[in-house]
Structure 1
Amino acid sequence: MDHIEEAVACALSPTADPALKQQATQYCEQVKASPDGWQSCLALFVREPKSTPETRLFCLQVIEEALMSRSNNLDDSRLGFFRQTFMDYIQREFVSGGVDNTLSSEPPYLKNKFAHAIALLFRQTYLKSWTTFFADMLAFITPLPQSSGKSNMKMVDLFLRILMSIDEEVVNTLTSRISSKEENTLNINIKDRMREQDVPALANAWYELLTEYKERDLSFAEMLLRIVGVYVVWIDISLIVNERFVSLIYSYLLTTSIRNAAADCLTDIIKKGMKPLDKLQLISILGIVDVLQQVDLSSDSEFRGRVARLVNNLGLQLCQIWQDTNPQANSTYPPTANPTAYTHISQLVPILLQFLRDEDDNVSEAVFGFLREILNIFKTIKKATGSLPQEQKVLMRQILESIVMKMKYGEDMDWVCVAIAGGSESVGTIGEDSIGDEDMLNFIELRRELKRFYDQIAALSASLTTSFLHSAVTTTLTTFVNEKAAGSAGVSDWRDLELALYLLYLYGEAIKGIPQFAVVAPSVGANGGKNVNPIPPVGAPLTPLGECLFEMCKSGVSAYPHPSVSATFFEIACRYSNFFEIRPDCIPDVLEAFVDPRGLHHPLLANRTRVWYLFWRFTKDLKTKLSPFVQTVLTSIQDVLTIEASLPPVLAPDFDLSSFKDQTFETKTYLFEAVGLLISQDTIPAQQQFEYLSAVVTPFLTEIQKCLEACRAIQPSSNGTVGGVSGITAGSPMYQDLELVWTLHHRLMALGSIAKGFPDVLTNKKGAAVAGTTGGPCAQIFKQVAEITLEALVTLSRFEVIRSAARFTFGRLINCLGQDSQPYLPPLITGLLQECSIMELAEFLPFMSQVAHKFKATIISILNGLLFPLVQKVFFFLNQVPNGTDEALALVELRKSYLAFLVGLFSSELENVFVTRANGQHLNLILQSVLHYAQDMSDVPVSRMAFGILLRAVNSWGSQSENAGGYGAPVGNGSRSGSVSPDYSERLEAPGFYQFMYEHIVRVTFEVPLKPTFDLQDGQSMLVLGEIAGLQKAIVQKQGDVFLSYLSQVYLPSINCPPDLAQEYVQALQQLDAKQFKKYFQ
C-alpha cells in the first residue's frame, strides 16, 4: 500500500523527475490491470489514518474498474468482502456521530466516487446476496433516541448520492453502461425487484426527509426533489401523486428558495409515460393551473423559465391526449375525454400567453412546443369542420397579438441590416456570421421561430391575419403621420415603426397565393365563364393589404431617422412591386426614397449595399412603369456610379488577386445592371438611350484608358500573386500595380453589368439578327466597350481577374451586339485560353456554349478552327494528376463543362463542326472520350451526360450504312476532299461512325448496367438506365432490321445470352414505344 501512495504522489507531482513520473504512472496502470489490485486499494481507501485524497480517489477508481470490468472474477465471497468493508466504513465514517448538523469531512468528489462504487456493488449483489440493501441504508438514516427525531445528516447525504448513482447505472438509458442484452435484462430485473420490495419504503423516506429538511437544510431537499423526479419515471405514480406528497412539493414551489427544483420535479411527474385517460386523471388530480396562479413570477427569470418548461410539458401532454381522444381519429375513448382535455388546455392558455410575452426570450422559447401543438389542434378542428369556431378564433387572435409583441426589438437592442424574415435573399446585407452581438443573433433566430407561428395562423385564418395586419399597420402609420403633422416627428419609437413594417413584409409570405392589392369583380370570359385572376385596373379599390401599402408610401415613414425603417420600407416595396402596377401614383414616392439619403445615398454602408440590390429588383419588376423618371433617376445617382477598388492594407505572401473577393463591389454590380435596365426601355427614343448610355459609360471608358496606360508599365512577370516571404504593404510598387489591375477589373465588370441590363438582340433559327432588333445607336457604345475590353485582355492577359472580367463582359456584349460581336470573338478566345487555369477553362466552355446557341450556323466558321485546340486544352488538363483537393474538384467541374459543351453543340445544330476537314480526323478521339465517361460510374451524372451525347450522335449520324466511309475505317478518318457550303447548312456525314456505333456504343449500352458498381437502387443510376434505353431505341430507329439482326445473331450470342431471352429482348426493342421500352429495360 505504501508503494501505491508513493506512486500516486509521484505521478501527480508537477516537480517530479520525468523518468520517475513515467515509472509511477506505469505502476499505477499495473495496479489497475492487476486482478487483485482492488484488494490493496480497498484496504488503503478505508485505512485509518486516512491517506491523501488523491490516493484514495485512485483507489476508488481501481475499485470501480474491478466492479465494472472484472465483475465476472468476483465470486460471492469477494463481493461479500466488498459489502462488509463498505458497511464498516459507512458505520465509522457516516453513522457514528452523524446526528448533528455536520457533514462528513470527506471531500464531495470522494463521496460521489464512493457512492458510485456502492451503486456498482449494489448492481452486482441486489438480486442475490444483498436483498436488504435499501433496508440497511434506511436503517443508518433512522433517527437515534438521542437525536430528538432528527435523521442522520451524514448518512442522508451519502444515501442521496447513492440513489443518484443507482439511477445513472441502472435506470437512466443515457448514462447506464449497457453493453449486452444480459446487462439490460439485469437492469430490468433490478427495477422490478425494487418496485415490488423497496420503492414504497423509499417513497415514504423521501416524504419524511423532504418534510424534515424543509426547515433543516434546503440543499438536501433540493437533491431529494431531483431524486423524486428521476425515479417517478418508472415507479408507481400513486406513491408520489397523493395529497400529502403533492402538497409538500407545492409548498416548495410557492415559498422556498429551491422552487426551481420543485418546478423540475413537477415537470418530471407530468412527463411520466401513461395511457391517455390515466394521464388526464393525473393532470386533474394535480391541479397545476390553480397552483400556478398563486406563484410569484415577477422577479426571477430563471424560475419563470422552469415554470414555463413545466407549462410547456403539461400543454404538450394535454394536446397529445386531445389528439388521441379525438372522436374523428379514435372512437374507443369516453366522449367526455376530449372536451375535458380541451378544457384543461383552455385554462392553461392564459399562462402560455403570459410566458410568450415574457421579456426574457429564453422563457418565451420554453413554451414554443405547446404553442405549436395548440395551432395543430386548431388545424385539426378546421380540417374536420371546415371552419374554426369563434372560441378558437378569439384564442388565435390573442396568440397572434402575443407573437407580434414578442417580435418587437427590445429597448436595449441595436438594429443591424440583415435580411429580414430569415428566408429572404440576403444580397448586400451583413452576414450573420459578421454580427458580434450574440443577443442580436438570438433575436434574429427568435423572429424566425415566431414567423413560423405567424405563418401557421395565417394559413388557419387569412381573414384574421389580414384584419390584424391592417389594424396594426394603419394605426402605427396614422400615429406617425399625426405626430409629423403636429411637428413632433421622431416621437414615435423606431421599434414600433419597424415592427409594423416588418409585419407588412411578412404578410406576403404568410398568405398563400399571389397577394391581391385591389378588389376586382370577376370578369366574364369569352366562353361565358369567370376569369379566375382578372387584372385589376389602375385605381381599383384597394384590399386591406393594398391600403397598408398605400398608407406606407404616402405617410413619408421612409424618412424616419432610423435606418431600420427605411431599410424595411425598401424590402416591402420590392416584395410587393406589383402593387405599383395598379397604383403608379406611388412610384415617385418610392423612387425619391431610393435615390436620396434614405436609399442609394444612405450614410451606412450596410444599408447602401442592400439598397443597390433592392433598387435592381424594383427596376427589373417595374421597368415599363419607370420611363418618365429615367432622366431624373440617372441624374440623382450619377455620383453613386463610382468604383472603389480597394485591397487589404497588407497583402500576405500567399495573396492571390484571383481569389480575393470584394463583396461590396459584387453587390454594386446590381446597381449598374439597374442602370442598363432603365436606359434600355423600349419607350425611350433610341437617340435618348444613346445619350443616357454615353453619359454613364464614357467616364468609365476614359478611366479604363488611363488605367491601361499605367498598366503597361507593370512588370511582365507580375500575374496577380505576391510571393516572397514578407508580403507587401500599401504604397509599394507591387501593391500599386495590383491596385491598378483590380481597378481595371472592377470597371470592366461594371460595363458588363450595364450591358446585362440591355435586352438581347433577337436572332432567327440560323443565328442571324432579326430585322429591326439590332443594337441601334447604343451598339456603337457597346462596340467601344468591346474594343477596350479586348485591349485590356491583350495587355494584361496574364492576370486571371482580367481574363475573368473580359469573359463576363463579353458574355453580355454578344447578346447586346448580336452578330456585330463576332469579329471580336477570335482575339477574345485567344486571350482567354492563352494562360487559362483549369477552373477558367471550366467556366469558358459554358461561355462558348452560349456563343454557339446565340449564333448557331453563323458562328461555325469560328468554331471550326477553335474546336480541336479547345479539346486539346481540355484533354491536357484532364490527363493531369490533381494537386490537392481544390484542383481535383476543378477537374470534376471541367469534365462536366466539357460534356455540357458537346451537348450544346448538338443542341445548337452545330454537329457539322465535328466532321469538317479540320476536325473530322479528330472525331474518333472526341467520341472515345465520351465513351470513357459513359462507362465511368464513379460519377453517375457525368455518365448520364455522356450517354446523352452518344444519343445525339446516333440521331445525327446513325442512319449511315456499313459502307459509309468504308467498313472498318476509324471514325472521322475519311478525309473530306470536296468542298462544302460555307455555312455548313447541310448535314455532313461522319465517316466510320457506323463501325463505332456497332463496336462501341452498342457494347457499352449492355456492359454499363451489368457493372458491379451500377446501383439499381440509386435514382441517378436509374436515369442513366433510361438514357441507355433511349439510346438503343434511337439506333433501332436509324438502323432498323440491321441493328435488330446484329443483336439477335451477333452481339447477344457473343455474351452468352440464351436464345429465347435474346429473341424476347429484340421483340421488345422492336415493338414497344420509347416509354414502354424504358420501363421494360429497367
Structure 2
Amino acid sequence: MEEVALQGLDPQVNDPAARALTLQYFEQLKASEDGWRLCAASLTSGRYHSNDHIQFFCYQVIEHFLKTSYVSASPVVQRECKTFLMTVLQLQSQDTTKNKTFLRNKVAQVLSLAFVCDYPQRWPSFFQDLLQLLSMGPLAVDMYLKVLVAIDSEVVDRDIVHTQQETERNTMIKDTMRVDCVAQLVDSWYQIITGYESSNPETVCLCLDIIGKYVSWIDINMIANNKFVEVLIRFMRMNLLRESACDCIHEIISKGMDPVAKTKLIESFTNVLDSAGVIHPTEDEEGDFVAKLSKLVNGMGLQLIQAWQKLVKAGDSASSNVTMQAFEHKVPLMFRFLGDEDDDVSGAIITFAHDYISVLKQVKTLSEKQRQNIEGLLFVVVKKLKYDESYNFDQEGEEEAMFQEYRKQLKTIFNNLAQLDNQLIVAAVHSLVASTLQNWRNMEHQEVEVAIYLLYILGETIPPTQGPQFRDASQSKTTALQEMMRLLVTCGVSHTPHTAVTLQMFETIVRYEKFFLSEPQHIPAILTAFLDERGLHNKSKSVRSRVSYLFSRFIKGIRAHVQSYENVQEILTRIADLLVLNTPDNGLQISLTSVDKLFMYETAGTVIVSGYFPPEKKAELMKALLAPIVSKFDSIYSKMCAETDETKQFGFAQSLSHAMNFASRASKAFSNQQTMRQCSCVEPFTETLQIFLHVLNTPCHRQLLQTGVRQYLHRMVVCLESEILPYVPLAMEQLLKDAEAKELYDFLPLMNQVISKFKKEIVPFLQQIFMPVVTTIFQALNKPSDQLDQIAAAEKKLLHKGYFGFISTILNQDVAEILTLQESHNLYNILVTVVQGAVDFPDPSAQKLCFQILKKTIELWGDPGSLSGFEDFIYKNVVPACFMAPMKSTFDLKDAQTVLALGESGLVLKTVLEKRGDEFVVFLQTKYLPEVNMTPETIQEYTEALKSDPKIFKSYLKAFFARFKS
C-alpha cells in the first residue's frame, strides 16, 4: 500500500493536505477492482498488526466492496473473499492485543455483510464454520458472539429501516436458521454462559445480550425452560452478571406470544424470582441493579396489560380476569420501585403506572383494593414530586433538567389520577395544602413547594366545561380550590426565603387570577408582593425575570381593580427603576433583561390605559413613561455615531433598538375599546415617532435600527388614525434608500398594512412612490450575487414573493387606481412581471398568488372598453400563461400546492369567459388552441369543459394537463 497516502490516518498528524491525500487514496481503493484484495493482503500479512488505524482503513475498503460489488462478483472472487474473512476471523480470535474491541466489531460487521449475501445458498455451512471457533478459547468465543450481534443488526434490528427486498431476504434467512442451526446456537449459548460464568463474566454478559436479541424470533421453549431459567436465576444473585441476566429476562417476557401463554410465562418468572428473593431489593441494594429490576417489573406490567387488552377484545372474560389479577399483584412492586429514592429507578417503571391508570379508567366499578391503589399512587407521586436536597436552583445543569423532565412524567400520572377520581384527588390535595401552608415556617422548602405545586397543577385536572369555580366570598359555600387559594395568599408564605417556593407561589396566583375577582380584598397584598423584594425586586435574577412576565399577566386579569389614579401612580413609581434604558456608558446595569422589560412596559401601559381617570391624566402618565426613552434617544444615537470601538458602538445600537421596542410594547395597551385617541395619548407617541425617525439615516447598524423603526411604525398604524399619515412619506423614503433585498422584504408588510388601513387616504402618496418602490425592488432582485450564496438567493426569493403580495394588496383593498394612474408602459411592465411569476416562479404558492392577481385584474378591467389595451394583454399574455405554467416540467401535478395554483389558473380563464363571453371561446377555437397544435376534437372538448361548472372544469384541467405531460 502507498505509505505516504496512509500518513493522514495517524491521529498525531495534523496536516490537512495529508488528510486529503488519504481520503483521495481511500476513494481510489474503493473504485479499484482490486482495491479490496490489496487491503485483504495487507491485513493477513501482519504488516500492519500494530497499526489499528490502517487496519480499520482496510476493513472499510472491504466493507464498501461487500456492500456494492460482492453480489455481482464471480464465484472465484466470492470464494477468495470468504477465505479471507475466515482467515481474519481466526486471526482476531488469537490476537491477545488489548484495546482491539473496535477492530473485532468491524470484522464481525464485515463478515455479516457477506453472510446476508451468501446464506444459505452460497454459504450453507456458515454457522458450522462459525461454531468451530468455540474450541479456540475465550477470544474466539468473543469473536463468535460479536458476529452474532452483527447478524442481528443486519437481519433483525427493528430500529434499522429495510427495503421490501431486504425484509423478504431477512425473513428467508430467519426461516432457514430456525431449521438449520438455531438449536446448535442455543446449545452453544448454554455452554458459554455456564462455562465462563466464573472466569469471564464479560463474555457471559455479551452472550445474555444475544439470547435477549434472538429470543424475539426463535422458539421460546428453547430458552424459557428449566435449564436456562435455573442459570438466569443463579446469575441474578451474582453482582457481575445480574444486570445482564435481568435484561435477558426482560427480553424473554417481551416476546410476542398468545396472551394466555404470555401470562403464564410472566407468572412463572415472577414466582421463581420471588422464591429466589431477588425481585424485592433491600434499601441498600446497588442502584443500577435496582433500576434494572424496576425496568423488568415495568416490562411485566406492560406485557400483562397488553395481554389483558387482547383478551378483553376477544371476549375471553375468564382469562382476562386471570391476567388482571396478575398485573394487580405487581402493583405493590410498582409502588416500591416508583417510590425509590433514585429517580432512575422510579423513572424506569413510570410507564406501568401510567398504563395501570388507563386500565382502571376502563373498569366500570372499581374494587376497594383498586381505590386503595389510586390513593397509594397519589402518595408516591407526591413524594417523588419533591425536589431533592442536591437540586441546584441557582445554576441548573443537566441533572436538574433531567429531574424536570421526570417531574413532567409524574405530573402526567397525577393528571390521570385526577381524571380517574377527581373528588379523591381534590380532597387529598386540599388536606396536604392546608396542613402545609398553616405550618410552612416549620417545614422544609421542598415540602412547601410541592404543596403549592399540587395546588397549581390541580387546575389542569378540572374539566374545561367547569373551570376553576370561585364564588363571592360572602356566600357560605366556597370550593376547596377557593379555600386553598385564600390560605395561600393569607398565610404569609410569600415571605419564604427560597426562590423555588416564591416562584411557585407567583405561578399559582397568576393561574388562578379569577380568585381575585371574587375576593378582590386580597389584591393589594398580592400587588405588594409582586412589587417588592419578593417579586420584581427579588435578589434572584431568575425570579425577577419570571415575575416580570407573570406580573404582566396578573395586571391584565385584575386591571378593573387597580383603576384609581393613586393605584396606578403607586405601581408606576414602584417599577420606575425597572424601566431604565441601559446603555454602554451607564455600565449596562441589568436588573431585568431587555425581554423582561418589554413585559414591564406593556404592564405600565396597561395600568395607564385601564385607569379610571380623565384622558389628560393618562396622557400625562404615558408621556412620563416614554420620557426616559425620548430624552436619552438622540444623545445615545450621537454617541453611537461617534463611537470607534465596535463593541461599544453595537451596544449603543442595541440600546436604541431596545428603546423603540419598549415604546412599541407600551402601545399594546390600547384597544378598540380604549383607543390612543380616546386616551389623549396621540401626542406622546407621535412625538416619540418623530425622534425615532432620526435613526433612519444611520451610518451603522442599519438593519437593527431600521427594524426597530419599522416595528414602531407597525404599532402606530394599528393605534393611530390619520395622525400617522404625515410621517409615512418620510419614513417610506428613508426605508427605501439603498435597501437590500432583506430590508425591502421586511418593508413591504408595512406598506401593505398602511394600504389596508387607510386605503383612499393614502392613494395620492402611494401613486407617487409606487414606481420608485417597484424599481428599487427589481434593482435588488437583479443585483449580482454569488451563485453559491444560498442566503442571498433565499432573500431574493422572499422579496419577489413579497412583491406579488404588495400588488395583490393594492388590487384587493380597492385602491387599484394606484396602478391605473401610472404611465401605460409602466402598468404593462408590472402586469408582465405578474404573468412571468405565474409561469416561471419556482414556488407554487407564489404562482397561485400571481394567478389570483391576474383574475382580479380581469374582474376590474376585463369588460370591453374598461382599460385601454387590456383586452390585448389578456389574449396575448394572460391566457397563454394559463397553458404555459401547467406544461412546465417543474409544475408537479402530484403536489397539493401546485394543484391549488392550477385551480386558480382555471378560475382566471373562467373570469375571462365571464367578461368576454363568446369572443373568448372563438379566440380559443380559431386562434390560440390551433396554434399550440391542439386537435379539433380536443379543442371542442376543452371549450365545452370551460363552459361547465367551475368545479368540473377544475377537475378537467388536472386530467387535461396530466394527459398532455405524460
Is the shorter-chain TM-score for this pair beyond 0.5, marking a shared fold? yes
Percent of matched pairs sharing the same residue = 26
Cα 1:8/1:585, change in 2 over 3 Å: closer
Aligned to 1:407: 385
Cα 1:168/1:901, change in 2 over 3 Å: same
Aligned to 1:437: 397
Aligned match of 2:179 in 154, 167, 192? 192
Following superposition of structure 1 onto structure 2, how do residues 298-697 of structure 1 map, counting pairs within 5 Å?
Answer: 298-326=284-312, 329-331=313-315, 334-379=316-361, 381=362, 385=364, 392-415=370-393, 437-480=397-440, 489=441, 491-513=442-464, 516-518=467-469, 542-628=478-564, 629-646=567-584, 664-681=593-610, 683-697=612-626
In 1, are the aligned partners of 2:541 and 2:591 still within 8 Å (CA)? no
> Across the two proteins, how many residue pairs are aligned to each other?
923
Residue-by-residue CA offset, 1:891-932 (whole Å, 9 max, x unaligned): 23322332222232233322222122x555522222222222
In 2, are the aligned partners of 1:8 and 1:55 still within 8 Å (CA)? no
Structure 1 residue 306: Cα displacement: 1.6
Structure 1 residue 872: Cα displacement: 1.4
Aligned to 2:962: none
Aligned to 2:897: 1020
Residue-by-residue CA offset, 1:190-229 (whole Å, 9 max, x unaligned): 4422235x357546635xx62x666666556545544544
Aligned to 1:767: none
Query: Within 2, Cα distance between the matches of 1:78 and 1:1017?
Result: 46
Aligned match of 1:1035 in 909, 912, 915? 912
Cα 1:924/1:448, change in 2 over 3 Å: farther
Query: Within 2, Cα distance between the matches of 1:10 and 1:943?
Result: 51
Structure 1 residue 609: Cα displacement: 2.7
Query: Within 2, Cα distance between the matches of 1:1037 and 1:850?
Result: 32
Q: Secondary structure at the match of 2:537?
A: coil
Structure 1 residue 300: Cα displacement: 0.7
Query: Within 1, Cα distance between the matches of 2:832 and 2:882?
Result: 14
Aligned to 2:813: 908
1:827 aligns with 2:730: yes
TM-score (norm 2): 0.82
Query: Within 1, Cα distance between the matches of 2:819 and 2:713?
Result: 25
Structure 1 residue 367: Cα displacement: 2.4
Question: Partner letter of residue 902 of structure 2?
Answer: L
Aligned to 1:943: 847
TM-score (norm 1): 0.74
In 1, are the aligned partners of 2:470 and 2:482 still within 8 Å (CA)? no
In 2, are the aligned partners of 1:930 and 1:950 still within 8 Å (CA)? yes
Aligned to 2:882: 1005
Question: Partner letter of residue 813 of structure 2?
Answer: S
Query: Within 2, Cα distance between the matches of 1:78 and 1:821?
Result: 81
Query: Within 2, Cα distance between the matches of 1:747 and 1:84?
Result: 75
Residue-by-residue CA offset, 1:916-958 (whole Å, 9 max, x unaligned): 2x55552222222222222235212222222222232233223
In 2, are the aligned partners of 1:57 and 1:113 still within 8 Å (CA)? no
Q: Secondary structure at the match of 2:593?
A: helix
Aligned to 1:282: 265
Aligned to 2:961: none
Cα 1:295/1:781, change in 2 over 3 Å: closer
Structure 1 residue 746: Cα displacement: 3.1
Q: Report which stretch shifted further, 543-552 or 439-448.
A: 543-552
Query: Within 1, Cα distance between the matches of 2:8 and 2:688?
Result: 80
Q: Secondary structure at the match of 2:237?
A: helix
Query: Within 1, Cα distance between the matches of 2:38 and 2:105?
Result: 20
Structure 1 residue 547: Cα displacement: 3.6
Aligned to 1:896: 801
Structure 1 residue 303: Cα displacement: 0.6
Query: Within 1, Cα distance between the matches of 2:8 and 2:707?
Result: 66
Question: Partner letter of residue 890 of structure 2?
Answer: T
Q: Secondary structure at the match of 1:173?
A: helix
Structure 1 residue 302: Cα displacement: 0.9
Question: Partner letter of residue 559 of structure 1?
Answer: H
Cα 1:244/1:810, change in 2 over 3 Å: closer
Query: Within 2, Cα distance between the matches of 1:296 and 1:4?
Result: 62
Cα 1:894/1:552, change in 2 over 3 Å: farther
Q: Structure 2 stretches of 5 or more lacking a match?
A: 959-966
Cα 1:511/1:1014, change in 2 over 3 Å: farther
Query: Within 2, Cα distance between the matches of 1:84 and 1:840?
Result: 67
Query: Within 1, Cα distance between the matches of 2:548 and 2:76?
Result: 76
Q: Secondary structure at the match of 2:670?
A: coil
In 2, are the aligned partners of 1:796 and 1:802 still within 8 Å (CA)? no
Query: Within 2, Cα distance between the matches of 1:945 and 1:599?
Result: 50
Q: Structure 1 stretches of 5 or more lacking a match?
A: 95-103, 141-154, 417-434, 481-488, 521-535, 651-660, 723-727, 763-771, 965-989
Residue-by-residue CA offset, 1:762-785 (whole Å, 9 max, x unaligned): 9xxxxxxxxx98356432323322
Q: Report which stretch shifted further, 33-42 or 360-369.
A: 33-42
In 2, are the aligned partners of 1:842 and 1:897 still within 8 Å (CA)? yes
Aligned match of 2:658 in 746, 751, 774? 746
Residue-by-residue CA offset, 1:352-406 (whole Å, 9 max, x unaligned): 2322233333223322443443344345x26xx5x76665554344334433433
Question: Partner letter of residue 669 of structure 2?
Answer: G
Query: Within 1, Cα distance between the matches of 2:760 and 2:39?
Result: 89
Q: Secondary structure at the match of 1:637?
A: helix
In 2, are the aligned partners of 1:905 and 1:911 still within 8 Å (CA)? yes
Q: Report which stretch shifted further, 163-172 or 122-131.
A: 122-131
Cα 1:919/1:682, change in 2 over 3 Å: farther
Q: Secondary structure at the match of 1:1009?
A: helix
In 2, are the aligned partners of 1:934 and 1:947 still within 8 Å (CA)? yes
Residue-by-residue CA offset, 1:95-123 (whole Å, 9 max, x unaligned): xxxxxxxxx97768499699969988999
1:756 aligns with 2:672: no
Structure 1 residue 681: Cα displacement: 2.2
In 2, are the aligned partners of 1:518 and 1:541 still within 8 Å (CA)? no
1:161 aligns with 2:150: no
Aligned match of 1:871 in 733, 756, 774? 774
Residue-by-residue CA offset, 1:967-1009 (whole Å, 9 max, x unaligned): xxxxxxxxxxxxxxxxxxxxxxx43223223332233233323
Query: Within 2, Cα distance between the matches of 1:666 and 1:359?
Result: 39
Structure 1 residue 230: Cα displacement: 4.5
Question: Partner letter of residue 242 of structure 1?
Answer: N
Query: Within 2, Cα distance between the matches of 1:84 and 1:855?
Result: 85
Query: Within 1, Cα distance between the matches of 2:847 and 2:495?
Result: 58
- Point out the structure with max Rg over C-alpha: 1
In 1, are the aligned partners of 2:615 and 2:680 still within 8 Å (CA)? yes
Query: Within 2, Cα distance between the matches of 1:362 and 1:273?
Result: 27
Residue-by-residue CA offset, 1:593-619 (whole Å, 9 max, x unaligned): 222222222223333233333333333
Query: Within 2, Cα distance between the matches of 1:830 and 1:665?
Result: 30
Question: Partner letter of residue 311 of structure 1?
Answer: V
Q: Which has the higher helix share?
A: 2
Q: Report which stretch shifted further, 638-647 or 221-230.
A: 221-230
Cα 1:85/1:1015, change in 2 over 3 Å: closer
Residue-by-residue CA offset, 1:124-183 (whole Å, 9 max, x unaligned): 899767997699778x5xxxxxxxxxxxxxx56256325414523545536999997779
Structure 1 residue 61: Cα displacement: 8.3
1:270 aligns with 2:253: yes
Query: Within 2, Cα distance between the matches of 1:40 and 1:858?
Result: 84
